[in-house]
C-alpha cells in the first residue's frame, strides 16, 4: 500500500539563533543572528511501508520468501546507554560583541553552554568535535564527561565557514576512572540516510546536562544560507533541538553519529525543524582540524607579534563595502614581523596558521598561544583588479607587541 504525502508549500522566514546558553538565554541557532531562513518545501513522495519505518524481514524455511512488517523503535534506552560515554557537555565564558541602536560597538562577557562528542584519542590528547560557534571567543572552556567530571579544554582547530571545531583535553588532566568510563564515538555514513529514517539527538539542552530526543529525518541536503551569503546543505530533522544542543550528536539506530546538531528554525509558525551537519561532509574538515596546534596560552613575555595595526571587518561592513569578513590590516609597523614578509596593508586576514580568524580579538587570542620566533602561515584576501584573491603568507613572529584596533569599519 502506498502512502502519499500531500503537497505542501510554505514559506517560513525565521532567524537562525546562536546555539549555546548565553546568560541563561543564549538562543539556539547557527550563529547567524539576523539572517533569514527561507524554506520552500514542495515535495510529493510515494513510499512503501517498508521505507517509512524500520523493517523486519522474516524468512520461513518452507517457502524461503520474505515478509516485510512495519515497525519503529519506541525504546532507545539501550542505544543511548551505548553512546552516552562518547558525548560531552561544553561550557565556557565568552566575549560577546554587538552594536547598540546607535551603531556603537559593545563588548560584554557571558556564560554559554553547548555539546560535543569524542572523535579521537591521541597519545596526549582527547579530541572532541563540536560547532565553531560553541567555542568562538571562548576564554575558559570546560568539558564535562559522562561521569560528571569537568576538565579544562582548549581549542585545537576551528573552521568558521563550516561551523566546525575541535576541542582538546590533555589526557594527563583526566582521572583514570573517567578515562575508563568514556569512549570514542562511532561515526556512520550520512550519505546512506533516507527521509523517514528514525534518528536520536543527544545534547546539553539548556545547559542542564545531557538529554535525549527522538525523531525522523525530515529532509536531506536542505540548503540554508548564512549571514555572509554562502549556503550549506544540512540534514533536517524533527527531533527536538534546543539551546545547548549545538555541537551534539545526531545518531542512527545503530548508535553511529550521522550528524552534528547545529540549528533550528525558531518561529511561532514553525515546529520541528532542526538541522545537523552531515558527518560524512564534516569528517574531512574535522580530520584536518585535529592536526592543528592546540591553543594553549604561553607566558606573556614570550608571546609573538605580527607588528600590525588592524580592525575588524564584520558581516555588516563586509556586506556594505563588498569586502570579505576578517581582520583588515590598515598599517604595518616598521621593523615588525609583518614588515619583513609579503603581507600588505589593506590585506584582510582570514586565517592564522590554519585557525579561522573573524575579528581582531580572534587574532589576538590566537597570537597569545604562539611564541616569538615561531614561523606561521597567514591566509589573506587581497584586492586585485577589483576582486579579492586568496594568498598564503609565511612569516616569523616578532617580540610581543599589542595589535592596535580602530573602531569597526
Pairing outcome for strands 348-352 and 375-384? antiparallel
Query: Which distant-in-sequence residues (6+ apart) come within 8 Å of 269 by Cβ?
Result: 12
Query: If we measure between CA atoms, which residue out of 121, 63, 113, 72 comes closest to residue 90?
Result: 113
Phi, psi of 243 (to 5 degrees): -55, 130
First to last CA, the chain: 61
Q: Which of 246, 305, 358, 365 is flagged as catalytic?
A: 246
**101 half-sphere exposure, CB direction, 13 A CA radius:** 0
Phi-psi region of 255 (alpha: psi -120 to 50; beta: other; left: phi over 0): left
246 is annotated as an active-site residue:
yes
163 is annotated as an active-site residue:
yes
Residue 253 and residue 198 in contact, taking contact as beta carbons nearer than 8 Å: yes
**CA 192 to CA 215: how far, in whole Å?**
17
Cell of 319: 556586506
**CA 357 to CA 316: how far, in whole Å?**
16
Q: Which of 92, 133, 159, 356 is flagged as catalytic?
A: 133
Cell of 281: 561532509
Q: Which of 35, 86, 112, 163 is flagged as catalytic?
A: 163
- Count of CB atoms within 10 A of residue 326's CB? 27
**CA 235 to CA 252: how far, in whole Å?**
12
Query: If we measure between CA atoms, which residue out of 86, 91, 98, 94 comes closest to residue 128?
Result: 86
**Residues with catalytic roles:** 133, 163, 246
Amino acid at each position: 500500500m502506498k502512502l502519499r504525502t500531500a503537497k505542501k508549500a510554505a514559506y517560513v522566514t525565521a532567524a537562525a539563533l546562536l546555539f549555546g546558553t548565553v546568560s541563561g538565554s543564549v538562543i539556539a541557532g547557527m550563529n547567524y543572528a539576523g539572517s533569514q531562513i527561507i524554506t520552500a518545501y514542495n515535495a510529493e513522495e510515494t513510499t512503501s511501508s517498508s521505507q517509512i519505518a524500520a523493517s523486519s524481514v522474516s524468512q520461513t524455511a518452507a517457502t524461503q520468501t520474505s515478509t516485510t512488517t512495519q515497525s519503529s523503535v519506541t525504546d532507545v534506552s539501550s542505544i543511548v546507554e551505548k553512546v552516552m560515554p562518547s558525548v560531552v557537555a561544553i561550557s565556557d565564558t565568552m566575549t560577546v560583541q554587538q552594536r547598540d541602536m546607535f551603531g556603537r560597538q559593545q563588548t560584554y562577557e557571558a556564560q554559554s553552554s553547548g555539546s560535543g562528542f569524542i572523535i579521537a584519542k591521541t597519545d596526549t590528547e582527547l579530541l572532541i568535535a563540536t560547532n565553531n560557534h560553541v567555542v568562538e571567543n571562548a576564554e575558559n572552556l570546560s568539558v564535562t564527561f559522562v561521569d560528571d567530571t569537568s576538565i579544562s579544554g582548549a581549542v585545537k582547530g576551528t573552521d568558521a565557514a563550516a561551523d566546525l571545531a575541535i576541542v582538546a583535553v590533555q589526557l594527563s588532566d583526566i582521572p583514570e576512572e573517567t578515562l575508563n568510563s568514556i569512549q570514542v564515538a562511532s561515526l556512520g555514513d550520512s550519505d546512506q540516510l533516507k527521509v523517514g529514517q528514525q534518528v536520536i539527538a543527544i545534547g546539553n539542552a539548556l545547559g542542564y546536562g545531557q538529554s535525549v530526543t527522538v525523531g525522523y529525518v525530515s529532509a536531506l541536503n536542505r540548503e540554508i544560507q548564512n549571514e555572509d551569503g554562502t549556503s550549506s546543505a544540512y540534514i533536517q530533522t524533527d527531533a527536538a533541538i534546543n539551546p545547548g544542543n549545538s555541537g551534539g550528536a545526531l545518531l542512527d539506530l545503530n548508535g553511529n553519529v550521522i550528524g552534528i546538531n547545529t540549528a533550528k528554525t525558531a518561529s511561532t509558525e514553525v515546529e520541528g525543524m532542526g538541522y545537523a551537519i552531515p558527518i560524512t561532509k564534516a569528517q574531512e574538515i574535522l580530520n584536518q582540524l585535529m592536526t592543528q596546534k592546540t591553543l594553549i596560552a604561553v607566558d606573556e613575555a614570550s608571546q609573538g607579534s605580527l607588528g600590525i595595526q588592524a580592525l575588524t571587518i564584520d558581516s555588516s561592513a563586509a556586506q556594505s563595502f563588498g569586502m570579505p569578513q576578517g581582520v583588515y590590516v590598515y598599517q604595518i609597523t616598521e621593523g615588525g614581523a609583518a614588515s619583513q614578509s609579503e603581507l600588505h596593508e589593506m590585506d584582510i586576514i582570514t586565517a592564522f596558521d590554519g585557525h579561522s580568524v573573524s575579528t581582531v580579538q580572534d587574532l589576538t587570542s590566537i597570537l597569545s598561544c604562539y611564541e616569538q620566533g615561531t614561523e606561521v602561515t597567514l591566509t589573506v584576501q587581497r584586492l586585485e583588479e577589483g576582486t579579492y584573491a586568496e594568498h598564503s603568507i609565511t612569516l616569523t613572529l616578532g617580540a610581543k607587541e599589542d595589535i592596535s584596533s580602530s573602531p569597526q569599519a
